[in-house]
Chain A
Amino acid sequence: MYEFAYHRPNSIRKASSLSASGEAKFLAGGQTLLPTMKQRLASPDALIDLAGIEALQGIELKGRTLHIGAMSRHADVASSAVVREAIPALAALAGDIGDPHVRAMGTIGGSIANNDPAADYPAACLGLGATIVTNKRRISADDFFTDMFETALEEGEIITKVLFPLPRRSAYAKFDNPASRYALVGVFVSKRGRDVRVAVTGAGPCVFRVAAMEDALSKRFAAKSLDGISVAAGDLNSDIHASADYRAHLVGVMARRAVAAA
């Protein structure tokens, strides 16, 4: 790692003003950023640790919306009685990220800011129609995840929390890469009134929704409704772990499993 300065502000305002100078980066759980810096793929001249900011912590249910602070660790979300009651699929998803030590450190804010094409939380945000709240504005998940490792966040913008409207039914089915535990393909489905969402991670360069599946499921929410619906392999990833065709096939399989489990 190259040298950098370290700051630990106690307010969002201070964090934001620290980020205005030079090539600073926010540090959340460090489970992606620190390995990236060790490989010298990132070399910020300052790290602004968000762990001392009270306002980024906390999980609470307000009416029919679940609020999760950006610095909530995966382990906290997985074990939260509030999340398990409100959106069990989200607690289960968090409890299946990486391994226990990664879950003790990694945060929801860091995961979605990073927008790894194989990360789990982006599927939950898009699949539940979440709203990402920053120190500047509110961004719907539909507009937030823009491309591979790209989001709508501007320079120095801080995610403060994520708001999840409670679904009536939801589930996440993940086919994990056994070496990395990231999703080879993961599908999050939810139903809230007539609104059905199907969000796919791991398969393409960025998390995406499958309109044909959503239409079919909004007529009848059953795995059988997905018979004959497939996604085109053309736009999907091909790598040493799986071909695009295999991933396309897995999208169908995981979507059926998720609907059956929801």
Chain B
Amino acid sequence: MPKVTMTVNGKAASADVEPRTLLVDFLRQHLRLTGTHVGCDTSQCGACVVHVNGRAIKACTSLAVQWDGASVTTIEGLASGDALHPMQEAFREHHGLQCGFCTPGMIMAAVDLVNRHGGVPDEATIRRELEGNMCRCTGYHNIVKAIGAGASAMQGSGKVAAE
């Protein structure tokens, strides 16, 4: 079995995996980082979004072996100690979640969209950027609100890149 080595949330992680091991299974089963969810397993819902080399991708639609040597950030890697990342804090503050299943993917997608657009994106941009993230509970309103607030807070805190 091929050995893969990645930097996950700042720490070196390596394991022998079958080539067919999905990145999301590597994270959840080998590293026990179960914050990254699997909603659909068909590339539609975005619950599995993580950052790889600074880009948000669907971890259910990528193989672990594709990312030997890469740097990965999951939802577990956003907070600094007890202090939530400003985007996590904004979701809490603005009730951007109900059951919470979609939330890890939403937040990783949100941080990525703010990193790419810079500044505070307008509502239309946020909604368009959420094309690949589904939520079955909230109706999206508070998610959009939370992302706007999180984006402002990220500017304030200077915490632009999660990586």
Contact = CB atoms under 8 A, between A and B. Distances in A.
Interface of A: 1-6, 8, 27, 30-31, 34-35, 38, 47, 49, 51, 75, 98-102, 104-105, 181
Nearest to A104: B55
B89 to A, nearest CB: 23
Given A31-B43, A98-B131, A5 B61 contact: no
Describe B's contact surface by its main secondary structure. mixed
Main secondary structure of the interface of A (DSSP, over half): mixed
B41 interface: yes
A100 B132 contact: yes
Nearest to B112: A100
A47 B19 contact: yes
A4 B43 contact: no
Interface of B: 2, 18-20, 22, 41-43, 46, 49, 55-58, 61-63, 65-66, 109, 112-113, 116, 129, 131-133
B66 A35 contact: no
28 contacts: A1-B20, A3-B18, A4-B20, A5-B19, A6-B19, A6-B65, A8-B65, A30-B61, A30-B66, A31-B43, A31-B61, A34-B43, A35-B42, A35-B61, A49-B66, A51-B66, A75-B55, A98-B132, A99-B131, A99-B133, A100-B129, A101-B49, A101-B57, A101-B58, A101-B109, A101-B132, A105-B57, A181-B131
Contacts, number: 68
A101 B105 CA distance: 11
A253 to B, nearest CB: 22
